[in-house]
Structure 1
Amino acid sequence: MKIVLTGGTGYIGSVVLEQLVAAGHAVTALVRSDEAAAKVRKAGAEPAVGDLYDTAWTARLFAAADGVVHTAAPGDGTSEQFDRAVVEAAVEALSGTGKPYVHTSGIWVYGDNADIAEDSPFAPPALTAWRLAVERSVLDADLVATIVAPGIVYGHGGGIPAGVLAPGRDEQGRVRLVGDGTQRWTTVHVEDVAALYVAVVERGERLGHVVAASGVNPTVREVAEAVGAGVAPESVEASRARFGPLFADALLLDQQATGAKARSLGWTPTRPTLVEELAGA
């Protein structure tokens, strides 16, 4: 297939790119700079340098593809506007064509929930509440659309767990928890979540939301203990002061998921669990 990929130099997208190329697909990676173009070219993709806010440019490239995978994310206050621009291009280029469009969400849209499934009620924290209207516009359009909602992604020394827990030591060298650490995080390795993106775009069906979760849901305390050197609980107020209230409230969510729908599509996570990876680091 000819696949257009956004976010090909990002944490998830770079692994999606590797796996698409390894599967024999011809990938065009939309990037913003010559430096990024060199990276994706080295990974086996054909770069296209431009601005994803330029709907006409993006739509023209989307229309030339057999399928589109959108993983790019600015990760700041412009995220909603960015996603809306990409979705507008997807609707313009792909409506009624039967070509698959794969969009990226996140597990936080489901809020506190001990048994998350795709049809669970949405209850996002303020940080990701903007996603709901954008995703509704994707599903309301005449698109063969799938919205992948990854859990807490880890692997290769990156992701939220490494960024939040590894550097968060107190004066005694203990790993500072987020809150008291009793909340569970639903997790997925970056290699496994990339494999799901590949499987979904190859399938070419309208699947709606698909939760990307390994089925392993450790407590934050268990994750921190795997880092070693002891742990230090803190109050919710202290976590909100340390990370900012929006990010902290998302990290404090208590979530579990099995990834049953993804598994029903033939997807099988195979990489080490988050605790295993941190313990072996």
Structure 2
Amino acid sequence: MHVLLTGATGYIGSSVLSALLSRGHDVTAVVRGDDKAAAVRERGATGVVADLMDRDEAVRLMRAANGVIHLASDPDDAEGFDRAVAEAAVDALSGTDTPYVHTGGCWVYGAGDAIEETDPYDPPALTAWRPGVIALLEAADVPVTVVHPGIVHGGGKGLVPMTTEGAKDDAGRIRLVGDGSQHWTTIHVDDLADLYVAVLEAGSGFADVLGVSGQNPTFAEIAAATGAETLPEEPAATRERLGDAFAEAMLLDQQASGDKARAIGGWAPKRPGLLEELRAQASGTNR
């Protein structure tokens, strides 16, 4: 399959690129500069430097593909960029059988101890713009799947090291996010990449799909698994440290099983869970 991939040099996108290539797909990766184009070419993909905010160019690239996975983001205009790509997908793919896989996020569902895809959205302010973009896609005649990743881990990157290693006080204790009792949905980056490919290869739109492993540790458990001492924090102090919008999202108490994902193309998480990964790292550090 000829797959158009955005975000191929990012944390998740890099793993998705590897998964696609390992399955024998022909990948065109849309990137922002010549250096990134060279990087994806070295890995076996075709690198194309293009501006996805250019509707005509985005539509042309999508129409030339047999499947599209969108993972790119713009930190300066997250909503505007995501909406522009979604609108291009509607223009390019409406009335076709070309699968389009968009990226959402588990936070869009708000708090819940058994979150399912059919639950109503209840996003924090940080991601309150996402439902509008998703509604645009799901109202169109496009075979769309919106993958909602949980907290992604693996490879020493992502939100976990930022909120553990990056949150230590002068005594080396990890400042918890609040009291740390909130659960986080989790998934290994390579398992998430496999899910994107499974959804694409299945060929039809699945609407919302939670990209989670079914392991939902508390933040206190996550911090403790690193082997460091922890320091509970009042929610007000967390908001002051992280900012109101980010703290609101980080304090969400979320649990989900990922059962719908497991019904797509035989997908199942295979890599170590987050706590297992962190404990292994701590053990290796301490030897």
Same fold (TM over 0.5): yes
Q: Which amino acid aligns with 1:218?
A: P
Task: Say whether the 8 Å CA contact 1:175–1:228 is kept in structure 2.
Answer: no
Deviation at 1:226, TM superposition (A): 0.9
Unpaired segments ≥5 residues, structure 1: none
3-state SS of 2:182 partner: coil
Deviation at 1:13, TM superposition (A): 0.6
3-state SS of 2:166 partner: coil
Distance 1:41 1:252 in 2: 40
3-state SS of 2:58 partner: helix
2:285 is matched with none
3-state SS of 1:234 partner: coil
1:45 is matched with 45
Q: Which amino acid aligns with 1:165?
A: T
Q: Which amino acid aligns with 1:256?
A: Q
Q: Which amino acid aligns with 2:59?
A: A
1:34 is matched with 34
Distance 1:92 1:136 in 2: 15
Deviation at 1:165, TM superposition (A): 1.3
Distance 1:201 1:238 in 2: 42
Q: Which amino acid aligns with 2:231?
A: A
Distance 1:11 1:71 in 2: 10
**Would you identify which runs of 4 or more consecutive aligned residues in structure 1 move more than 6 Å?**
none
- Provide Cα deviations, 1:133-160, integer angstroms capped at 9, x if missing partner: 0000010011000000011101000111
3-state SS of 1:167 partner: helix
Q: Which amino acid aligns with 1:270?
A: K
Q: Please give the root-mean-square deviation of Cα atoms over the aligned residues, in Å.
A: 0.8
Distance 2:244 2:228 in 1: 27
- Describe how 1:225-264 pairs up with structure 2 within 5 A: 225-264=224-263
TM-score relative to the length of structure 1: 0.98
1:206 is matched with 205
1:224 is matched with 223
Identical columns (%) = 54
2:269 is matched with 269
2:78 is matched with 79
Q: Which amino acid aligns with 1:196?
A: L
Distance 1:86 1:206 in 2: 17
Deviation at 1:267, TM superposition (A): 1.0
Q: Which amino acid aligns with 1:233?
A: P
Q: Which amino acid aligns with 1:98?
A: D
- Describe how 1:109-148 pairs up with structure 2 within 5 A: 109-148=108-147
1:22 is matched with 22
3-state SS of 1:137 partner: helix
Q: Which amino acid aligns with 2:12?
A: I
The alignment covers a number of residue pairs equal to: 280
Q: Which amino acid aligns with 2:255?
A: Q
Deviation at 1:77, TM superposition (A): 4.6
Q: Which amino acid aligns with 2:212?
A: A
